[in-house]
Amino acid sequence: MTRTQESSAHWGTFQVDVSDDGRTVVDTRPYADDPDASPAIAGVAEGQHHPLRVVRPAVRRRWLERGPGPDDHRGDPDDEYVEVEWDEVLDLLAAELDRVRSAHGNRAIFGGSYGWGSAGRLHHAQGQLHRFLNAIGGYTSSKNDYSRGASLVLLPHLIGADGMEQLRTRPPSWPQIAAHTDLLLCFGGMRLSNTSVIPGGHDRQVVGGLSRDAARTTRIVTVSAQRDDIGADLDAEWLGIVPGTDTALLLALTHTLVVEALADETFLASHTHGADRVRAYLRGDTDGVAKTPEWAARITGVPAATIRDLARRAAAGRTLVNVTYSLQRAEHGEQAVFAALTFAAFLGQIGLPGGGLSHGYGSMGDHGLGVERVKLPTFPQGRNPVDDFIPCARISDLLLHPDEDLPYDGGTLRLPDIRLVYWAGGNPFHHHQDLRRLRRGLARLHTLVVNEFHWTPTARHADIVLPAATPLERDDLAAGPGDSRLRTMPRAVAPVGEAREEFWIYDRLAERLGADYSEGLDSHGWLERIYETWRRANTDAPPFAEFWRAGGTPLPQRPYRDGAFSAFRADPAAHPLDTPSGLIEVFSPTLAGFGLSDTAGHALWIEPPVEPDSPYDLQLLCNQPSHRLHSQLDMAGPSRSTKVAGREPVRLNPVDATARGLRDGDVAIVRSPQGSLLAGVVTTDALLPGVAQMHTGSWYDPSAPHVADCVNGNVNVLTKDVGTSSLTQASSGARVAVSISRYDGPVPPVRAYEPPHLEHRPGAGRAERRPSERRTPARGRGNDRARARPSPPTSHPGRAPSPNGQPAADSGHRTPPHR
Ligand SMILES: Nc1nc2c(c(=O)[nH]1)N[C@H]1C(S)=C(S)[C@@H](COP(=O)(O)OP(=O)(O)OC[C@H]3O[C@@H](n4cnc5c(=O)[nH]c(N)nc54)[C@H](O)[C@@H]3O)O[C@H]1N2
Ligand SMILES: Nc1nc2c(c(=O)[nH]1)N[C@H]1C(S)=C(S)[C@@H](COP(=O)(O)OP(=O)(O)OC[C@H]3O[C@@H](n4cnc5c(=O)[nH]c(N)nc54)[C@H](O)[C@@H]3O)O[C@H]1N2
Ligand SMILES: [Mo]
C-alpha cells in the first residue's frame, strides 16, 4: 500500500507514491494530463534512495589529517573520506570559516555557488548559503549565469536594462504568434525537451501544445546544424548552418534588406541609434569586406540564394527572429544576439504583435506563455558587505589568478585571493569548462565545502561534505514565473541517514560563529512567514494553514496586454529605453568607447582563427540533455536509458562515422586540446557532416586517466575555459572543436556512480585535527550533541503530523530537531 502526494522540481510538478510506513519513495510519475512532462520525473524516486546518497557528514582524510591547505589530490578517485558526527563537523567547519575570515578577510571566502539547486522557494540552496555567509561577514560573490551570461552584459547597452527585462518577461506569446506571425525564424532550433525546464517548475507543461497550435498558421524556419533541434510535428523548414556562424548569416540578411531597399527606414530613423554606422560596416567601409550573401555563404554553408530569399520572405510579412541562449554561449557568442537585434531592427517590426526579436523560445519553458509574472515568496538573504564578485563562469580564473585584473563590461575586476569555497546547490564539475583546469584551481584552496544529496564529482573534490535533505525530505513551496499555481512541496519521507535541512546546518554554524541565521524561527516558522509576507500583496490567497491543506493556491493568470517594446514603439519619446540615446542602439557609442579588441559599437563578425592541419576537425555541439536537468539524476533510469556502450552517446553524421571506421554502439575517444573522453557512437543524418553532438551532464569520471580524462563522457573535459569576450566574460561551453576516433583498447568501467571510500569513525573529527589548526570560534556554542533533543512531530497548522518525527529508516538517528 502506498499514499500519494505532490512534489515539484525545475522539471515540473509530479506525483510521489510513498510506502505506508512513510520511509520509502516508491515511485515518482508525471500527471496523466501532462503529455509533455519531463522524462526526468521518473528518476526522482531512484535518486532519493540511491547508494550515491550522502548519508553522513564526511571529511576528506587528507584534509582531516593534514589540516587546511593546497592539495592537488582533491578529486583523486581513490581519495578516502571519514564520516564524522554532526557536532564534530560543525565545530570543524565553524573553526575553519573563522580562521579564514580572521586571517584573510571575508573576501577570501567564495560563496557564489552557482547552480540549479532545488525548486523550493524556502530551501533554495544558494539563497540559504548567501544568507548564512552574509550573517558571518560576507563573501566574494558571482554574477550572471551560464545560460545567457553574454546577453545579460551586452543587451542592456543596446536596449537598456528595462528592454532586457521586457525581452525576457513579455516576448510575443504563443497565441500572438499564432495570430500574427507569418515567419518564425529560429536560430538554434526550438527543442521541446529544453522547455520542460523552468526555474521553479510549472504546474503543467504547456509550451508543446501552444507551439503546435501556432505551427498551424505560422511558418517556422529552424537554423541549426541539427535537424532534430525542433520537433518534427512543427513541420519546420531546416536550414543547416555551420555552428558559430549565425552572425555572418544575420549580417548578410541585413545586408540584403539594405541593398534591396527592404529595410524599414522610418523605424530605423525614429527608433534606433547608429543605423548609418551599421550600413557602413555592411558595405565594408570599415574593413573592406561587404557582408553579402556570397560572403556569408562561404562562412555558413547556407547558399547565397537561400539567404537572399530568406531576407525577402522576412521582409514580406510579420517576422519574429528568435535566438536560443546557446548561440551566445560561445566565444564571441554575444555577436549573434547583437546581429539578430540588428536584423530585427532593420526589419522594423520590434514592438509589433508577433514581430521583432525574441531570446528564449526553446530555451526556457515559460518563454512566451503570455502571462504577467507575479512576485513569489522569497527567503531574505540579507546584505553582503563584500563588494568583490566575478562573472560566474570565471571561477577557474578566480582560483588560478588571485590579485590579477579581469576586464569586464568596460572596466576591470581585481580578483581576490580565495582560500575557502562553499558550494551548495550547484555542480561545477557539471557546469564549468575545461575540468582539468578547474581541478588545478581547486587544488590551490585551503578548504572546499559542499552540501549535497549525492556524491557528485564536485562533492568528491570537497574537503567537507555535508548531507543535505532532499526536497522530498523537507516542507517547501514552489512556483515558476508565469505559473498558474503556487504549490506546496510537502515532505514525503524522513531524511535518509543523517541528512539535514540546510537551514538547520546554517543555523548551527551561525550560532558557533556568533551570528544569527534563523531570527528565532525554525524552518516551518519561516515557511509560514515567507508565505504570509507574500500574501500581504496577494490578498486573494488563503491563510497559510488553508493553503497548506489545499496543496496550493492559484496564481493570477493576467495576460500581458502588450508585448515587449510596444509602448516604446508607439511613442519612443514618451517611453524611451534606458539606453544613452533612449533608442535601440544598433551602434553603441558606449561599447565602441570601451576600446576592446573583440567588441565594436555594432554587431561584428569575428573570423575564427584558421588552424590548418588541426586534428580537431569536427565541431562538437554540447547541448542540454533531454532526459535530465544538467547532471541531476544522471544515475537514475531515464538518463541511463539514453546511454550507449555504458556511457554518454556522441552523435555524428554517417559520412564522418564511416571516414573514421565508426559504427553504432562503438566506443569512441573524443579529444580536444583541453582533454579527452570516451563516448558511445550513434550515427544520424540529423546532423550536418562535420558536426558532432553530445549532451552535457554525464558525470565526470577521472578514474582511468591513462585512457581518457573522463571515461563517462562529460563534455566539459573537452570545452575551452575562455570568456565569451573581454566585454561579457560568460561561458563558452556550447561547442568545441574535437577529433573523434575508435577506441579499441580495454574499456575501463564507469566508476562515477559509486560513492568514494568511506570510513565511519565517530570522534575522528576531534582526535585528528592538528593542534595548530584548531581555533576557538568567536562566540561558538560548541557541541551540538549537548543541545540535541528529540524531534517533535511537525505540527503544521491544519495538517496531520508528517513522518518527519520518525527515525530515519536506516540509521536509528533522529531527524533534525526543529527548534
Ligand atoms: N559545455 C557546456 N556546459 C554547460 C552548459 C552547456 O550548454 N555546455 N550549460 C550551462 C548551463 S546553461 C547551466 S545553467 C549550468 C548548470 O549547472 P548546475 O546548475 O551546476 O548543474 P546541476 O547538475 O543542475 O547541479 C545542481 C546540483 O545541485 C544539487 N542540488 C539540488 N538541490 C539542492 C539543494 O537543495 N541543496 C543542495 N545542497 N544541493 C542541491 C544537485 O544534486 C546537483 O548536483 O551548466 C552549464 N554548463
Ligand atoms: N531537458 C532539459 N532542459 C533544459 C535544461 C536541461 O538541462 N535539460 N537546461 C535548461 C537551462 S539551465 C538552460 S540555460 C536552457 C538552455 O537553452 P539553450 O542554450 O537554448 O539549449 P541548448 O540545448 O544548449 O542548445 C540548443 C541548440 O542550439 C544549437 N546550437 C548550438 N550552437 C549553435 C550555433 O552556433 N548556431 C546555431 N544556429 N545553433 C546552435 C544546438 O544544436 C543545440 O541543440 O535549457 C534549459 N532546458
Ligand atoms: Mo542555464
| Domain assignment present for 559 | no
CA–centroid distance, residue 621 to ligand 2 (Å): 9
Mean pLDDT of 45-71: 97
φ, ψ for residue 739, nearest 5 deg: -115, 150
How far apart are alpha carbons 57 and 341 in whole angstroms?
50
The model carries a pTM of 0.94
Residues 633 and 689 in one domain: yes
Q: What is the DSSP string of 264-304?
A: -HHHHHHHEE-HHHHHHHHHTTTTS----HHHHHHHH---H
User: Which of 427, 619, 648, 715 is the best mutation target for the ligand 1 pocket, counting ligand atoms within 8 Å of the beta carbon and taking the most?
Assistant: 427
Q: Which residues surround ligand 3, an ion (CB under 5 A)?
A: 147
Q: Are 402 and 233 in contact (CB under 8 A)?
A: no
**Considering the chain, what percentage of its residues have pLDDT values greater than 70?**
93
Here the CATH number for the domain that contains residue 256 is: 3.40.228.10
Q: Which ligand 1 atom is nearest residue 115's CA?
A: 19
Residues 155 and 230 in one domain: yes
State the DSSP H helix or E strand holding residue 669, giving kind and residue range, or none if neither: strand 667-671
Residue 810: pLDDT above 70?
A: no
Residues 528 and 575 in one domain: no
User: Which of 146, 186, 191 is the best mutation target for the ligand 2 pocket, counting ligand atoms within 8 Å of the beta carbon and taking the most?
Assistant: 191
Mean pLDDT of 267-284: 98
Residue positions annotated with a catalytic role: 114, 116
Quickly state the pLDDT bin for 72 (edges 50, 70, 90). Answer: very high
Mean pLDDT of 24-42: 95
Q: Examine the fold and report which residue of 742, 774, 792 is the final residue of a domain before the chain moves on.
A: 742
How far apart are alpha carbons 620 and 604 in whole angstroms?
24
Mean pLDDT of 591-606: 98
**Considering the chain, what percentage of its residues have pLDDT values greater than 90?**
91
Mean pLDDT of 140-162: 98
Q: Examine the fold and report which residue of 690, 718, 742 is the final residue of a domain before the chain moves on.
A: 742
Residue 772: pLDDT above 80?
A: no
Residue 799: pLDDT above 50?
A: no
CA–centroid distance, residue 419 to ligand 2 (Å): 34
Residue 818: pLDDT above 70?
A: no
User: Which-ligand-closest: CA of 325?
Assistant: 2
How far apart are alpha carbons 641 and 419 in whole angstroms?
40
pLDDT score for 797: 35
Q: DSSP letter at 558? A: P
User: What's the one-letter identity of residue 290?
Assistant: A
96, 90, 124, 127: which is closest to 109 by C-alpha? 96
Bridge partners (DSSP) listed for residue 571 = none
User: Which-ligand-closest: CA of 245?
Assistant: 2
Mean pLDDT of 468-480: 98
Ligand 2, atom 40: closest residue by C-alpha? 188
| Domain assignment present for 27 | no
pLDDT score for 427: 98
pLDDT score for 745: 96
Residues 209 and 303 in one domain: yes
pLDDT score for 766: 66
Residues contacting ligand 1 via CB (< 6 Å): 115-118, 123, 125, 146-147, 329, 424-427, 430-431, 451-454, 456, 468, 502, 622-623, 629-632, 696, 715-716, 719, 733-734
pLDDT score for 60: 98
Residue 34: pLDDT above 90?
A: yes
List the grid coordinates of 539.
Answer: 490578498
pLDDT score for 611: 87
Bridge partners (DSSP) listed for residue 17 = 4, 27
pLDDT score for 764: 74
How far apart are alpha carbons 651 and 230 in whole angstroms?
16
Here the CATH number for the domain that contains residue 105 is: 3.40.50.740
Q: DSSP letter at 190? A: B
Residues contacting ligand 2 via CB (< 6 Å): 147, 187-189, 191, 193-194, 196-197, 223-226, 229, 241, 243-244, 246, 324-327, 329, 362-364, 621, 623-626, 629-630, 734-735
| Domain assignment present for 298 | yes
pLDDT in tens, 77-129: 999 999 999 999 999 999 999 999 999 999 999 999 999 999 999 999 999 99
Q: DSSP letter at 763? A: T
Q: Which ligand 1 atom is nearest residue 624's CA?
A: 7
Mean pLDDT of 263-281: 98
Can you list the positions of beta strands (E) in 259-409?
A: 272-273, 319-323, 356-358, 389-391, 405-408
User: Which-ligand-closest: CA of 736?
Assistant: 1
**Rounded (10°) angle between helices 246-259 and 304-316:** 60
User: Which-ligand-closest: CA of 188?
Assistant: 2
Residues 191 and 340 in one domain: yes
Residues 138 and 158 in one domain: no
| pLDDT mean across residues, the chain | 93
Residues 179 and 325 in one domain: yes
Mean pLDDT of 573-599: 98
φ, ψ for residue 385, nearest 5 deg: -70, -10
Mean pLDDT of 41-46: 98
CA–centroid distance, residue 397 to ligand 1 (Å): 19
Q: Which ligand 1 atom is nearest residue 145's CA?
A: 14
Q: How many residues does the chain have?
A: 819
| Domain assignment present for 185 | yes
pLDDT in tens, 504-539: 999 999 999 999 999 999 999 999 999 999 999 999
Residue 805: pLDDT above 60?
A: no
Ligand 2, atom 47: closest residue by C-alpha? 194
Residues 313 and 347 in one domain: yes
pLDDT in tens, 425-443: 999 999 999 999 999 999 9
User: Which of 453, 670, 710, 714 is the best mutation target for the ligand 1 pocket, counting ligand atoms within 8 Å of the beta carbon and taking the most?
Assistant: 453
User: Which-ligand-closest: CA of 623?
Assistant: 2
Residue 610: pLDDT above 90?
A: no
Residues 140 and 155 in one domain: no
Q: How many CB atoms lie within 10 A of CB 404?
A: 12
pLDDT score for 767: 53
pLDDT score for 813: 30
pLDDT in tens, 703-732: 999 999 999 999 999 999 999 999 999 999
CA–centroid distance, residue 326 to ligand 2 (Å): 5
CA–centroid distance, residue 623 to ligand 2 (Å): 5
> Measured in whole angstroms, how far is the alpha carbon of residue 565 from the centre of its chain?
27
| Domain assignment present for 178 | yes
Residues 101 and 127 in one domain: yes
Quickly state the pLDDT bin for 796 (edges 50, 70, 90). Answer: very low
CA–centroid distance, residue 324 to ligand 2 (Å): 7
List the grid coordinates of 791.
Answer: 524531534
How far apart are alpha carbons 542 and 27 in whole angstroms?
31
Q: Which ligand 2 atom is nearest residue 40's CA?
A: 1
Q: Examine the fold and report which residue of 699, 717, 742 is the final residue of a domain before the chain moves on.
A: 742
Quickly state the pLDDT bin for 62 (edges 50, 70, 90). Answer: very high
pLDDT in tens, 223-239: 999 999 999 999 999 99
Q: Are 186 and 239 in contact (CB under 8 A)?
A: no
CA–centroid distance, residue 465 to ligand 1 (Å): 17
Please, what is the Cα angle at 603 between 696 and 182, to 5 degrees?
75
CA–centroid distance, residue 369 to ligand 3 (Å): 19
pLDDT score for 791: 37
Here the CATH number for the domain that contains residue 666 is: 2.40.40.20
**Domain, as residue range, for 700:** 618-742
Residue 574: pLDDT above 50?
A: yes
Residues 396 and 534 in one domain: yes
Ligand 1, atom 4: closest residue by C-alpha? 431
Ligand 2, atom 6: closest residue by C-alpha? 629
How far apart are alpha carbons 232 and 215 in whole angstroms?
11
Residue 771: pLDDT above 80?
A: no
Residues 508 and 458 in one domain: yes
pLDDT in tens, 157-191: 999 999 999 999 999 999 999 999 999 999 999 99
Helices and strands (H, E) in the chain, number of each type: 24, 30
Please, what is the Cα angle at 147 between 465 and 589, to 5 degrees?
130
| Domain assignment present for 772 | no
Q: Are 603 and 337 in contact (CB under 8 A)?
A: no
| Domain assignment present for 767 | no
State the DSSP H helix or E strand holding residue 515, giving kind and residue range, or none if neither: none
Q: Which residue has the cell 567588441?
A: 599
pLDDT score for 788: 35
pLDDT score for 763: 76
269, 270, 577: which is closest to 279 by C-alpha? 269
How far apart are alpha carbons 128 and 423 in whole angstroms?
11
Q: Give how many domains the chain has, as a whole number.
A: 3
Mean pLDDT of 47-63: 98
Q: Are 473 and 100 in contact (CB under 8 A)?
A: no
| Domain assignment present for 539 | yes
pLDDT in tens, 303-356: 999 999 999 999 999 999 999 999 999 999 999 999 999 999 999 999 999 999
